[in-house]
């Protein structure tokens, strides 16, 4: 993508800032963020930043060609603290932002959904499998997808919903400000590097499809370039257990820190124990495939401490 005016919501956050900085190399990028989970320090000087919430009127949408909507309350605990606020930000904020760019003539939107709606899956999860909302967070992301259908059908907009799988980069990148909400790889690497025991919920056999943020950024850009108009998975198609992740972090850091196992505080009926993406649809539509292996990603995360 080049020569476009791009709006990135949640643009000072982890994924948003990585995307905004990348796109700013060849585009005019505007980032908005209410700084709940983001910080302007993540952004390059070439990115135009506005401290504003997606639920507000008069967003900086003039002449926007592409909207990347990543702003969200992005976890189960955030929504359970205040379900009404979760819906306001994740659903109303989405509709509000898309409607404002649409009125300015923008017809291409790429937005964040979630892989959590697949539930427990040790097999790859395809986009067309049956999903359900078991939490307020998942309900808000499914609502986005339905509103995406509405904007696509009613206004002929290109609406690409991207279901992310466990995105990470490490505290050497743009994750440190997320603290307890950062990906487990980032949190555990930091603790182990400082000789502290990472806390594992349950027995550590839960698995995740860990996907490096650079692969996510490429996927988002390709979705816009191809004007995709459907739901797509962004994940590696491989999964690793929490126990294995800790073992590999210790090996990479040259440490021998034992984790602490505790009872899972998240109710069993809503806890997602295993995830794995079926990324066939995205590959066929755009040629995208992950470039950063699990081993390479962990090495990059750990290099911050060496």
Report the mean per-residue pLDDT for the chain.
Answer: 95
CA 189 to chain centre: 19
Phi and psi at 49, nearest 5°, equal -110, 140
Six-digit token string for 229: 């108009």
Q: How would you list the strands of the sheet with 231-234, edge to edge?
A: 48-51, 28-33, 5-9, 66-69, 108-112, 158-164, 231-234
CATH architecture for residues 5-167+211-236+277-286: 3-Layer(aba) Sandwich (3.40)
Per-residue pLDDT at 77: 78
Per-residue pLDDT at 178: 85
Mean pLDDT of 200-229: 97
Confidence of residue 306 (pLDDT cuts 50, 70, 90): confident
**What b-and-e string marks burial along 198-214, b requiring 16 or more CB atoms within 10 Å of the CB?**
bebbeebebbbbbbbbb
Helix (H) or strand (E) run with residue 121 in it: none
Mean pLDDT of 129-154: 95
Confidence of residue 41 (pLDDT cuts 50, 70, 90): very high
Cβ neighbourhood burial of 60 (10 Å; 0-12, 13-18, 19+): middle
For residue 67, the 8-state DSSP code is E
Tell me the fold of 176-206+239-275+292-303.
UDP-galactose 4-epimerase; domain 1 (3.90.25)
pLDDT above 70 covers a percentage of the chain that reads 100
For the chain, the residue count is 306
Six-digit token string for 19: 């995307």
Higher pLDDT, 143 or 180: 143
Per-residue pLDDT at 177: 84
96 and 144 Cβ atoms separated by less than 8 Å: no
Quote the pTM value.
0.95
Confidence of residue 184 (pLDDT cuts 50, 70, 90): very high
Q: Which of 55, 161, 186, 32 is nearest to 109 (CA)?
A: 161
Helix, coil or strand: residue 78: helix
CATH 3.40.50.720 range(s) for the chain read 5-167+211-236+277-286
Q: What is the tens place of the pLDDT at every residue in 62-118? A: 999 999 999 998 777 788 888 899 999 999 999 999 999 999 999 999 999 999 999
Per-residue pLDDT at 19: 98
CA 190 to chain centre: 20
| Angle 303-190-76 from CA coordinates, rounded to 5° | 125
pLDDT above 90 covers a percentage of the chain that reads 87
Phi-psi region of 257 (alpha: psi -120 to 50; beta: other; left: phi over 0): beta
243 and 197 Cβ atoms separated by less than 8 Å: no
Helix, coil or strand: residue 31: strand
82 and 137 Cβ atoms separated by less than 8 Å: no
Alpha-carbon distance of 8 to 68, in angstroms, equals 5
Kindly tell me if the per-residue pLDDT of 266 is higher than 90: no
Q: What is the tens place of the pLDDT at every residue in 22-35? A: 999 999 999 999 99
144 and 192 Cβ atoms separated by less than 8 Å: no
**Cβ within 8 Å of residue 254, ≥6 positions away:** none
**Cβ within 8 Å of residue 228, ≥6 positions away:** 110, 158, 160, 285, 286
Q: What is the tens place of the pLDDT at every residue in 111-137? A: 999 999 999 888 999 999 999 999 999
Q: Where are the alpha helices (DSSP H) in 104-155?
A: 136-155
Mean pLDDT of 253-273: 92
Mean pLDDT of 210-228: 98
Helix (H) or strand (E) run with residue 184 in it: helix 184-193
For residue 274, the 8-state DSSP code is B
| Angle 85-267-294 from CA coordinates, rounded to 5° | 90
CATH 3.90.25.10 range(s) for the chain read 176-206+239-275+292-303
């Amino acid at each position: 993508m080049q020569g476009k005016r791009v709006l990135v919501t949640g643009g000072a956050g982890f994924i948003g800032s990585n995307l905004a900085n990348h796109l700013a190399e060849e585009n005019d990028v505007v980032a908005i963020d209410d700084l709940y989970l983001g910080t302007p320090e993540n952004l390059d000087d070439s990115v135009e930043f506005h401290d504003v919430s997606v639920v507000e009127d008069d967003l900086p949408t003039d002449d926007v060609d592409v909207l990347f909507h990543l702003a969200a309350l992005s976890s189960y605990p955030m929504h359970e603290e205040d379900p009404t606020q979760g819906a306001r930000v994740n659903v109303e904020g989405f509709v509000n932002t898309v409607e404002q760019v649409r009125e300015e003539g923008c017809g291409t939107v790429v937005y964040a959904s979630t892989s959590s709606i697949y539930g427990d899956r040790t097999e790859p999860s395809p986009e067309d499998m049956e999903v359900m909302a078991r939490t307020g967070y998942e309900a808000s992301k499914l609502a986005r997808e339905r509103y995406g259908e509405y904007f696509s059908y009613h206004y002929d907009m290109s609406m690409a919903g991207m279901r992310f799988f466990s995105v990470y980069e490490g505290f050497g990148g743009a994750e440190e400000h997320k603290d307890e909400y950062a990906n487990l790889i980032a949190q555990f690497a930091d603790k182990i590097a400082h000789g502290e025991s990472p806390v594992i919920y349950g027995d550590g056999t839960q698995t995740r499809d860990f996907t490096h943020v650079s692969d996510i950024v490429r996927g988002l850009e390709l979705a816009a370039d191809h004007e995709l108009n459907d739901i797509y998975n962004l994940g590696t198609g491989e999964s690793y257990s929490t126990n294995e992740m800790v073992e590999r972090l210790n090996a990479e850091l040259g440490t021998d820190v034992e984790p602490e196992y505790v009872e899972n505080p998240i109710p069993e009926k809503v806890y997602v124990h295993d995830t794995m993406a079926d990324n066939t649809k995205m590959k066929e539509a755009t040629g995208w495939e992950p470039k950063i292996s699990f081993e390479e990603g962990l090495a990059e995360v750990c290099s911050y401490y060496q």
